[in-house]
Amino acid sequence: MDKQKYWIRQIKSKSNQDAANELIKKYYKEVYAYIYKQTLNKELSMDLTQDIFINMLQSIKNFDEDKASFRTWLYKISTNKLIDYYRSSNYKNSSIMVSIDDYDLHVTEDFTIIIENKQEAQMVINIVNRFDASSQLILRLKIFAQYTFLEISSVLNVPESTVKTKYYAIIKKVKIFLEDNNG
């Protein structure tokens, strides 16, 4: 039996703290990176990542390895946490601020390009947040988690062709929206 399955069983049956720590340690950086790519905020990403792992531990008894891999299940929790955050009044009432402390002004890369890229990424995230949960899940898993269409189709339990069609339709809508607002 591999270590991950052992840890999951230990957590489910005995609420084993060491097993929980090992499972979190295995996925923490990957989940944090997935969240950070979509929030562009270190502190928020750390908070959301912590919430994701708390949620994972609270609901691990419902995890069924016959339905999905643990990693897929964890990404689904992560995506749902992001969707919930972007729908929350906390997000809607906060203003997007770029801290100058986040940047090393002595790097050779042009500081204005860094700021512009961050603003463009935030604009795309704001557009994505307007889509339904299924569309957001497809886009987030494809772009930010680098899932294949086949992997996404297994997560959503729909044909791969449906995932591809929805993905390209979403991309087209995002491009149109960006052209309309930049044109």
When comparing pLDDT for 183 and 53, which is higher? 53
Please tell me the distance from the alpha carbon of residue 59 to that of residue 45, in angstroms, as a whole number: 21
pLDDT digits 0-9 by tens, 118-129? 677 777 778 888
Provide the H-helix boundaries in the chain: 3-14, 17-39, 42-59, 70-87, 89-93, 111-128, 133-143, 149-156, 160-182
Closest CA to 144 of 94, 79, 56: 79
Closest CA to 38 of 117, 121, 150, 98: 121
How many CA within 13 A on the CB side of residue 150?
0
Kindly state the average pLDDT of the residues 155-166.
91
- pLDDT at position 93: 54
pLDDT digits 0-9 by tens, 95-142? 444 444 444 444 445 545 555 566 777 777 788 888 888 888 898 888
| Contact assessment for residue 129 and residue 122, using Cβ atoms and an 8 Å cutoff | no
Please tell me the distance from the alpha carbon of residue 137 to that of residue 110, in angstroms, as a whole number: 33
Please tell me the distance from the alpha carbon of residue 38 to that of residue 36, in angstroms, as a whole number: 5
Domains (range + CATH), the chain: 3-182 (1.10.1740.10)
Please tell me the distance from the alpha carbon of residue 77 to that of residue 119, in angstroms, as a whole number: 26
pLDDT digits 0-9 by tens, 6-42? 999 999 998 899 999 999 999 999 999 999 988 888 9
pTM of the model: 0.71
- Average pLDDT score over the chain: 83
Tokens 């230990």 map to which residue?
A: 10
What the block records as the tokens of 146 is 């680098």
| Contact assessment for residue 149 and residue 163, using Cβ atoms and an 8 Å cutoff | yes
